[in-house]
């Protein structure tokens, strides 16, 4: 089992193949990369691929008033 940051996985296989492997759109891959999301791709010994995102819990959003 090998865990790779999404950015490295995409650099290795390209956005289109990464999207197909993760059963999502190329646009979704592009958006995750642009947002610098902390996503890791796991390649298992049987060839299956999955991805997980690490996020702080609880998530704190910076809400600014429009004053």
2-5: strand order across its sheet: 2-5, 39-43, 49-53
64 located within any domain = no
40 located within any domain = yes
The pLDDT tens digits of the residues spanning 10-21 come to 999 999 999 999
Q: Does the pTM exceed 0.95?
A: no
67 located within any domain = no
Name the percent of the chain lying above pLDDT 70: 91
Tokens for 14, please give them: 């390209």
Print the domain residue range for 15.
Answer: 2-53
Residue 43: its pLDDT value, please? 93
49 located within any domain = yes
In the chain, how many domains are there?
A: 1
The pLDDT tens digits of the residues spanning 25-45 come to 999 999 999 999 999 999 999
24 located within any domain = yes
Check which CATH number belongs to the domain holding 29 and give it.
3.30.240.10
Residue 67: its pLDDT value, please? 53
HEC states along 1-67? CEEEEHHHHHHHHCHHHHHHHCCCCHHHHHHHHHCCCCEEEEECCCCCEEEEECCCCCCCCCCCCCC
């Amino acid at each position: 089992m090998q865990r790779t940051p999404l950015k490295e996985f995409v650099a290795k296989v390209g956005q289109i193949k990464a999207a197909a492997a993760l059963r999502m759109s190329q646009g979704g891959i592009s958006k995750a990369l642009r947002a610098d999301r902390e996503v890791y791709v796991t390649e298992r010994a049987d060839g299956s691929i999955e991805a997980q995102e690490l996020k702080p819990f609880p998530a704190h959003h910076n809400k600014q008033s429009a004053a």
